[in-house]
Amino acid sequence: MVCKHEHLLDVQNLSVSFKMYDRGLVQKELKVISDLSVSVDRGEILAVVGSSGSGKSLLAHAIMGILPENAAIQGAMKYQGEDMTPEYQEKLRGRQIALVPQSVTYLDPLMRVEKQVLGAGKDAKKKIPALKGIFNRLELDESVGKQYPYQLSGGMARRVLVSTAVIGDAELVIADEPTPGMQTGQAIEALRIFRELADEGKGVLLITHDIDLALNFADKIAVFYAGTTLELASSGDFLSGEESLRHPYSKALWRAMPQNGFEPLDGFQPFSGSLPSGCLFSPRCSMCEKQCRQKIPEMRELRGGFVRCFHAT
């Protein structure tokens, strides 16, 4: 395959499944991510949106190589063109790739905040000016550095997590729901920091429910559903409205936003143990036809984006 340009991060046809005990010693495989492809380029923020439980955090953990032991991965993940083997992932994480974890419980309860943000390297001391700068921007008082995580409120802990990820020289930042609990002004500032990183030539993968906020900072939006990507669109498509979007689920997301109609969609995301045989969205889709129930559509290019639907025009 001839590549015109190399992605910073390239995930192709990723599947993740968990081995679980069913009854007694009988094991079963639970597929939680199937045939998922995303890529992040330098200078770009890719926002990942979609329903809760659609595998967004699992994608982040798969890239970092921190999935639990009973997880099995298939497909290809490449960082700067190189296959991400477990050894390579170990070398990358924390250095080239930084994670803003979704849960504030990732902070070490026994370590002062400052130490956690600066990290353990030889040059930790050199980062102190940078730490002051970031704390200031995120409205964290300098005294927060001397505190322990239990002394922080939810929103403060999140801001500390963001500082931890952006203070290093990581080339790729993966932010898993970085903003809930933050006030709007602080959330905007956090996203602005991500934007600046991207503008410096780094890459950012931003996982979020807050489509509204993400749209103003991201370049591209990937829409996830039941463990796969249904659409890849530019943020402009989301901003200009329903007609510019391609997949029926993305359109439904757009219509469900409080400012755009607040319209719910009947039905629920299928449980990963009982996925439909065809298109994963088909049980809730108004355009569903026979072929949708039989075959999972391939991702195809459409109007400058990508969509996984037979009918999208």
Partner 1 sequence: MRLEAKNISFKYSSNGKSILKDVSMHIDEGERVGIVGPSGYGKSTLAKLMAGYLTPMSGSVLLDGKPLRGKGVCPVQLIYQHPEKAINPRWKMGRVLEESGFMNEELLSRLGIEKQWLTRFPRELSGGELQRFCVARSLFEGTRFLIADEMSTMLDVITQAQLWNVVLNEAEKRNMGLIVVTHNQHLAERVCTRIIDLSLINNEVHSQSEIAEVCL
Query: How many positions of this chain bind partner 1 (CB under 8 A)?
Result: 28
Question: Applying CB under 8 A, which of residues 32, 173, 204, 211 lies at the interface with partner 1?
Answer: 211
184 binds partner 1 (CB under 8 A): yes
Q: How far is the CB of 43 from partner 1 (least distance, A)?
A: 28
Question: Applying CB under 8 A, which of residues 25, 110, 185, 290 lies at the interface with partner 1?
Answer: 185
> How would you class 95 by CB atoms within 10 Å of its CB: exposed for 0-12, middle for 13-18, buried for 19 or more?
middle
183 binds partner 1 (CB under 8 A): yes
Q: Are strands 305-307 and 228-234 parallel, antiparallel or unpaired?
A: antiparallel
136 binds partner 1 (CB under 8 A): no
Give 89 or 269: the residue with its C-beta nearer to partner 1. Answer: 269
Residue 109, classed as helix, strand or coil, is coil
How many CB atoms are located within 10 Å of the residue 44 CB?
19
239 binds partner 1 (CB under 8 A): no
Q: How far is the CB of 295 from partner 1 (least distance, A)?
A: 25
Helix axes 184-199, 128-137, angle to 10 degrees: 130
What length does the chain have?
A: 313
139 binds partner 1 (CB under 8 A): yes
43 binds partner 1 (CB under 8 A): no
- The DSSP output letter for 209 is S
Q: Which residues of 137-158 are buried (b: 16+ CB within 10 A; e: fewer)?
A: bbebeeebbebebeebeebbbb
Question: Applying CB under 8 A, which of residues 133, 267, 291, 295 lies at the interface with partner 1?
Answer: 267
How many CA atoms lie less than 13 Å away from 213 in the CB half-sphere? Answer: 22
Could you give the CA distance from residue 213 to residue 207 in angstroms, rounded to a whole number? 12
256 binds partner 1 (CB under 8 A): yes
Give 53 or 276: the residue with its C-beta nearer to partner 1. Answer: 53
287 binds partner 1 (CB under 8 A): no
Q: List residues binding partner 1 (CB under 8 A).
A: 49-53, 139, 155, 180-181, 183-185, 188, 209, 211-212, 252-253, 256-259, 262-265, 267-268
